[in-house]
Amino acid sequence: MSKDGSAAYFTTRVDAVVNWARKHSLFPLPFGTSCCGIEMMATLCSDYDMARFGAEAIRFSPRQADLLIVAGIINAKMAPVLKTVYDQMSEPKWVMSFGACASSGGIFNVYSVTQGIDTVIPVDVYVPGCPPAPEGVLHSLIRLQEQIQKGETVAQRRERQSRAGTLKSIT
């Protein structure tokens, strides 16, 4: 009831509230393998302060994280490790490909470097740059939050397909 006596209420859907809570409580797992990892640390520090977006609680265990941030070069030997870490994270989970090397192999067009982590695990958002500026990382984080709110991430699509019985592959 509002002050003037008129009824005041709002309606919503459960999935909208759940997605709103999810997007503001991300638990990142930093998978930093090279120079991009340093830029990721800068984004987490006080000047840029990723905590403002509810994503400051870094977790180094895949079972306690829901946002995998892959920052740096993923060589062929590291790719199975990355896949294992991703598989160990519980659903729903999200992936950020941080920088040119994670997204495409960057300048390392050689057999020993994975030419994009999306050949190994599904990616929700890419951050361009070598290394990306912290402003770009925050922009990508906001884009990811928008996707989570709309239910458009890979994990959320997988969840819907699983419920409908049309899920063909886990990745």
Q: For residue 139, what are its two tokens?
A: 């922009």
Task: For residue 131, state whether it binds ligand SF4 (rule: CB under 6 A).
Answer: yes
Binding mask 90-119 for ligand SF4 (x = CB under 6 A): ---------xxx----x-------------
What lies within 8 Å, CB to CB, of 43 at 6+ separation is 50, 134, 137, 138
Neighbouring C-alpha atoms within 13 Å toward the C-beta of 88 = 13
Task: For residue 36, state whether it binds ligand SF4 (rule: CB under 6 A).
Answer: yes
Q: Edge-to-edge strands of the sheet including 28-32?
A: 28-32, 67-71, 94-98, 125-127
Which residues 6-25 are close enough to bind ligand SF4 by CB under 6 A?
Answer: none
- Residue facing ligand SF4 at closest CB distance: 101
Are 34 and 72 in contact by the 8 Å Cβ rule? The answer is: yes
Helix (H, G, I), strand (E, B) or coil at 146: helix
Task: For residue 42, state whether it binds ligand SF4 (rule: CB under 6 A).
Answer: no
Answer for which of 27, 34, 48, 79 binds ligand SF4 (CB under 6 A) is 34
Task: For residue 73, state whether it binds ligand SF4 (rule: CB under 6 A).
Answer: yes
Q: Which residues are near ligand SF4 by CB under 6 A?
A: 34-36, 72-73, 99-101, 106, 130-131
